[in-house]
Amino acid sequence: MKMTFRWYGGNDRVTLDQIRQIPGMTGIVSAVYDVAPGEVWSNGSILAIKNAANSHGLAFNVVESVPVHEEIKLWGPDAERLTDVYCENVRRLGKAGVDCICYNFMPVFDWFRTNLKNELPDGSNSLAYDEQVLRGIDPLGSDFSLPGWDESYTKSELKKLLERYGDLNEEGLWRNIGRFLKKVIPVAKKAGVKMAIHPDDPPWSIFGLPRIITNEDNLERFLKTVDEPENGLTFCTGSLGASPENDLPRMARKFAKRIHFAHLRNIAITGEGEFHEVAHPTECGSLDMYAIVKALVEGGFDGYVRPDHGRMIWGETGKGGYGLYDRALGATYLYGLFEGVQKTN
Ligand code: DNO
C-alpha cells in the first residue's frame, strides 16, 4: 500500500509543505487543470507537477482524473479522435512516471451532493446527499449550481447535452465504455499505466441519466469487458457504500487484485437515498473501515490509497471535502489500520 494525498496544484490552499508532514505520506494525486477535457496535456504541465512533488520529497505516480469527454460517453461523431487524444495523454503520463490513472464514466455529472455544508452535531460540516431533495432539483433551472467540481457548462450547453443523452440507456453506455476500453487499455499496457475507473457517486441514476459503475455485478461485468490487469478499479468506499446493497468487504476481497487505487472514507446512511460524510473511523459512520482494509490486504491489494473527503474542522474553509485537517487525520487512521492488519496477517 502506498499512501497518497490529493493535491489540486498551485491554487490549492493545501500546500505540498503541509502534505509532506503527514506521517506515512509517499506521494500526491493530481492532474493538469489548465486544459479542457478532450485536449492533449502538455509535457511541460505534466513535468511541472512531477517536479513540484519531487522537490517536496513526494512522488507523482497517480493522476485523478484524465476526464473522459462526453462525446466519448455518447460515442458521437468525434469519439474516435477524442479517444486517440485520451490515449496520447496516457502515453505522456506513462513516460513521466505515472502508473495509475483514475477516471470515471458518469454521464454529465461527476459526484453529486445536495448539501455542501451539512452541519454536524460537533460543529464541523461535511457533504451530504438526499434523494428527496435531488428529485426537486431541475438542472436547467436558474437556481441550479454545480457542486464544486465543475462550473464550465452554460445552461444551453447543459440542455443540449442532456437532450443528447435522452436515448442512451444503460446498455448504450456499456457499449460505449467497451469501445473506449478496447482502444485505451492496450495503450495503457504499453505505457505501463494501470487504469482505475471510479465508481458512480452516488451509485444510482440521477436526473434520469444512466449510471453503470454501481455494484458488484456491474464491476465484474466491467472488468470482464477487457479482462486485463490494466483495466482496473478505484475502490471508492464512500461512493459504493452509499448503497446498502453493496457489501464492501466482500467486494474489496473479490476485486482486490484489480483495485489499483483505493479512496477510503466513511459515510453515515440516514435513510433511503440519504447519507452524509463523516470522519474516517468505523465508529463515526455506517461502513466498517477495518473490515474493508482487512479484505483489501487479505485479497492481495497492492495499490495506492488516499484518504477521501474529509469534514471541515477546526474552522477550516476551502474546497468541499478537500481540506487539510480531517483528511490528514484520516490518512493516519488508515495508515494505522493497514499497519495493524498487515502485521497480524
Ligand atoms: C470526488 C472525486 C471524484 C473523482 C472522479 C474520478 O471527490 O472522488 O470527483 O475524482 O469521479 O474521475
Residue 142 has pLDDT above 80, yes or no: no
Residue 148 has pLDDT above 70, yes or no: no
Residue whose CA lies nearest to ligand 1 atom number 12: 103
d(CA 34, CA 36) in angstroms, rounded, equals 7
Report the candidate in 13, 59, 43 with the shortest Cα–Cα distance to residue 306. Answer: 59
Report the candidate in 267, 107, 240 with the shortest Cα–Cα distance to residue 172. Answer: 107
Please, which pLDDT band fits residue 283 given cuts at 50, 70 and 90? very high
Share of the chain above pLDDT 90, in %: 91
- Expressed in angstroms and rounded, the spacing between residue 113 Cα and the centre of ligand 1 is 12
pLDDT at residue 66 in the model: 97
Mean pLDDT of 185-202: 98
198 is known as an active-site residue: yes
Is the distance from CB of 172 to CB of 210 less than 8 angstroms? yes
Mean pLDDT of 269-278: 98
- Residue 208's contacts (CB-CB under 8 Å, 6 or more residues apart) are none
- Expressed in angstroms and rounded, the spacing between residue 111 Cα and the centre of ligand 1 is 6
pLDDT at residue 147 in the model: 64
Going edge to edge, which strands form the sheet with 274-277? 115-119, 125-130, 274-277, 267-271
> Could you read off the pLDDT of 316-342 as tens digits, one per residue?
999 999 999 999 999 999 999 999 999
DSSP per-residue letters across 183-212: HHHHHHHHHT-EEEEPPPSSSS--TT----
Please tell me the total number of residues recorded for the chain in this structure.
345
- Expressed in angstroms and rounded, the spacing between residue 237 Cα and the centre of ligand 1 is 12
Is the distance from CB of 24 to CB of 3 less than 8 angstroms? yes
- Residue 265's contacts (CB-CB under 8 Å, 6 or more residues apart) are 236, 237, 238, 277, 280, 307, 308, 309, 310, 330
pLDDT at residue 151 in the model: 59
201 is known as an active-site residue: no
Q: Which residues line ligand 1 (CB under 6 A)?
A: 64-65, 102-104, 110-111, 149, 198, 263, 309, 321
Catalytic residue among 86, 130, 260, 263: 263
- Containing structural domain, residue 95: 2-343
d(CA 147, CA 174) in angstroms, rounded, equals 26
Please state the atom number of ligand 1 nearest to the C-alpha of residue 198. Answer: 6
Mean pLDDT of 167-180: 96
- Helices in the chain by DSSP H: which ranges? 16-19, 43-54, 70-73, 79-95, 131-135, 155-164, 170-191, 216-225, 237-240, 248-255, 289-299, 325-343
Catalytic residue among 276, 309, 333, 335: 309
> Could you read off the pLDDT of 197-220 as tens digits, one per residue?
999 999 999 999 999 999 999 999
Please, which pLDDT band fits residue 158 given cuts at 50, 70 and 90? confident
Please, which pLDDT band fits residue 143 given cuts at 50, 70 and 90? confident
308 is known as an active-site residue: yes
Residue whose CA lies nearest to ligand 1 atom number 6: 103
- Expressed in angstroms and rounded, the spacing between residue 275 Cα and the centre of ligand 1 is 17
- Number of structural domains (the chain) is 1
pLDDT at residue 155 in the model: 82
Please state the atom number of ligand 1 nearest to the C-alpha of residue 234. Answer: 6
- Expressed in angstroms and rounded, the spacing between residue 99 Cα and the centre of ligand 1 is 18
**Which CATH number do you get for residue 323?**
3.20.20.150
Catalytic residue among 12, 130, 200, 308: 308
335 is known as an active-site residue: no
333 is known as an active-site residue: no
